[in-house]
Amino acid sequence: MKRPAFGFEAEVLTDAPFDHIAGRLREEGPGAFRSLRALRVWSPIEDAGGRLVLRWARAVAGAEESGEFTVTSDPKGAHLRLTGRMKGWPGFLLFGMLRWRTDRLLDRFVEEL
């Protein structure tokens, strides 16, 4: 039996300097930001020059949630991109009825800068 999958994607260009964000992530990890602490299951940070990638995967109420948070350097500051996916029938309940908002993670992150 197939299981439904629900995806989300968000991007924002912020005027916060890339070096500021990258420095905090490199030194203190994702726990340096209150909005990122909630996920608790980050894989090690992938650092490729002017780009940082953080990934997570977890089980939430019977659904599988996974995603990627990318920070890249931009002449105007930092470009933030969040993509995620929730797989399983409970995802329908979480996204649809309970309005599960992992996709708001990016908005909360920007507020912390």
Q: What percent of the chain has pLDDT over 90?
A: 26
What's the pLDDT at 69? 92
Superfamily of domain 5-112: START domain (3.30.530.20)
Q: Which residue has the tokens 């912020």?
A: 14
Query: Is the model's pLDDT at 13 over the cut of 90?
Result: yes
Ranges of each domain in the chain: 5-112
Q: What single letter denotes the amino acid at residue 79? A: H
Q: What single letter denotes the amino acid at residue 43? A: S
Q: Do you know the residue count of the chain?
A: 113
Report the predicted TM-score, pTM, of the whole model to 2 decimal places.
0.82
Residue-wise pLDDT tens digits, 46-81: 988 789 999 988 887 888 888 899 999 999 999 999
Mean pLDDT for the chain overall? 84
What's the pLDDT at 101? 61
Selection from 48, 92, 85 nearest residue 70 by Cα: 48
**Distance of alpha carbon 5 from alpha carbon 22, whole angstroms:** 31
- How far separated are the first and last CA of the chain, in Å rounded? 44
In the chain, what is the greatest distance between 2 CA atoms, to the nearest angstrom?
A: 48
